[in-house]
Amino acid sequence: MFESLSQRLDLVFQKLRKRGKLSTEDVDSALREVRLALLEADVHFSVVKDFIARVRTRAIGAEVSEALNPAQQVIKIVNEELIQTLGQAERLNLTGDKPRVVFMAGLQGSGKTTASAKLARLLKGQGERVLLIAADPYRPAAIKQLQTLGDQTGVDVFSLPNAKPPEIVRKGFDQAKKGGYSVAIVDTAGRSQLDEDLMDELRAIRKNVTPCETLLVVDAMTGQEALHIAEGFHKAVAITGLIFTKMDGDARGGAAISVRSVTGVPIKFLGVGEAVDALEVFDPKRMSARILGMGDMLGLIEKAEQAYDEKTAAAQAEKMLKGSFTLEDFADQIKQVRKMGPLSQLLDMMPGSMGAAARSIDPKDADKQMRKTEAIISSMTIEEKRYPDILNASRRRRIARGSGLDVQDVNRLLKQFRDVQRLMKTMQKTGGRNLPKMFG
């Protein structure tokens, strides 16, 4: 979502790096470009104005003039001020008597029902016993959608057909209390636009049940309109946090940067995909790092920890160092990488020059190649996977037919695998001393 903004800012910083010492004119010229980049990214004009003023005050003072590397110091200032604009990270408030109630509000099409299931899955992973309450009797198939998502995440769903939302929530809360659930997430009804009927219904629900959190789900693709939606809901029902969905889209996303300053409401979660595990806890430092092209290694590590089995990973590492790494292990590693999420997201998390090199890879081509590799290895016998040296021309033709690919694709995979084996043997013999020569 922030790709265009990141590229614009990177060009500004590249120009600054070419100068040994920065004058006031250099700083002003750079900040003009930063201002334009932020405005084009849909950041609110008042937020941009305040942000640029803070950066300029620090950038033309002693803080930069005494720095050994002025350009890096300006980048540091921009990063710190961007973090301040994004606000402090605020975690979900799950205090009080059980079951703690979380209201999910939002307009139709914002991804509220999916976000409810994602949050339920996240909390379940943290040891909570969660009940989803389907309180949207108006939208066709809304209850069925939540039940399907509940089945996928292993979370129970309470529904009461032909009842009004206040009654559904009251009885759902009673069910959560009797059933020993620690958290009840209420998927409320949405509307195509802000209206008083929607707000009255939310107020009526809150009379029966007092939530510890009221989260507004906002589609990041709506741009500046997201700020107006947040302000409207906040005035009516005092929302306590935001979930921005579709952050993996190609919209400009500036509202996510300015929402805290304009509305005073913190972002608590980001929806970064359609899968039920595609929900991230919002962290201003990590978002700023991504926007400024610094990557997000912490986020990458967290994804790896979720996807990888520690014992399996350790066993595979030992096999690689011993030179006994097989095509079976190769296929397992690809599956683990694919479990971490879309490759485009993983590449965006890589920092600095590593990230620049990684982003030169076409994620679609890489994903296609991984699927080809899985298809080829799946078409092999167990013996062939473990002892690829037995793959003669006849066997390779059979594997190509079985995977729906060409013999050249099979040959290419086997060459790549032999290269990996050769690399592992070299590491085993030299302790990695010859790796710089091998990679040029």
Cβ distance 115 to 145 under 8 Å? Answer: no
Token look-up 């079976």 returns 328
Q: What is the pLDDT of residue 440?
A: 41
Q: What is the pLDDT of residue 62?
A: 66
Q: What is the pLDDT of residue 252?
A: 63
Mean residue pLDDT of the chain comes to 79
Q: What is the pLDDT of residue 396?
A: 93
Q: What is the pLDDT of residue 331?
A: 81
Q: What is the pLDDT of residue 122?
A: 92
Q: What's this model's pTM, rounded to 2 decimal places?
A: 0.65
Cα–Cα distance for residue pair 74/27, rounded to 1 Å: 9
Token look-up 């599956």 returns 335
Contacts of 350 (CB under 8 A, 6+ apart): 295, 297, 300, 358, 359
Write the pLDDT tens digit of every residue in 135-192. Answer: 888 877 888 998 999 999 999 999 888 888 889 989 999 999 999 999 999 998 877 6
Q: Can you give 399-436 as a three-state secondary structure string?
A: HHHHHCCCHHHHHHHHHHHHHHHHHHHHHHHHCCCCHH
Q: Which two tokens stand for residue 285?
A: 């430092």
Contacts of 51 (CB under 8 A, 6+ apart): 38, 43, 81, 82, 85
Give how far Cα 305 sits from Cα of 309, 310, 339, Å.
Answer: 8, 8, 11
Tell me the pairing of strands 279-281 and 267-271.
Answer: antiparallel
Cα–Cα distance for residue pair 98/180, rounded to 1 Å: 8
Q: What is the pLDDT of residue 407?
A: 92
Domains of the chain: 3-86 (1.20.120.140), 100-294 (3.40.50.300), 301-438 (1.10.260.30)
Could you give the 3-state DSSP secondary structure of residue 266?
A: coil
Cβ distance 116 to 199 under 8 Å? Answer: no
Give how far Cα 143 sits from Cα of 9, 135, 270, Å.
Answer: 44, 8, 23
- What is the full per-residue pLDDT of the chain (440 aa) written as tens digits? 577 777 778 888 888 777 777 788 888 888 888 888 888 888 888 888 999 999 888 888 766 666 557 777 888 888 888 888 888 888 888 888 889 999 998 887 888 899 999 999 999 988 999 999 998 888 778 889 989 999 999 999 998 888 888 899 899 999 999 999 999 999 988 776 667 777 788 888 888 788 898 898 888 887 778 888 888 888 878 888 888 888 776 566 777 788 888 888 888 998 888 888 888 888 888 888 777 765 544 455 555 555 556 566 666 566 655 656 788 888 877 777 776 666 656 666 555 544 454 455 566 677 788 888 889 999 999 999 888 889 999 999 999 999 999 999 999 989 888 887 777 777 666 654 544 444 44
Cα–Cα distance for residue pair 253/251, rounded to 1 Å: 6
Contacts of 190 (CB under 8 A, 6+ apart): 105, 106, 107, 108, 109, 110, 112, 136, 139, 198
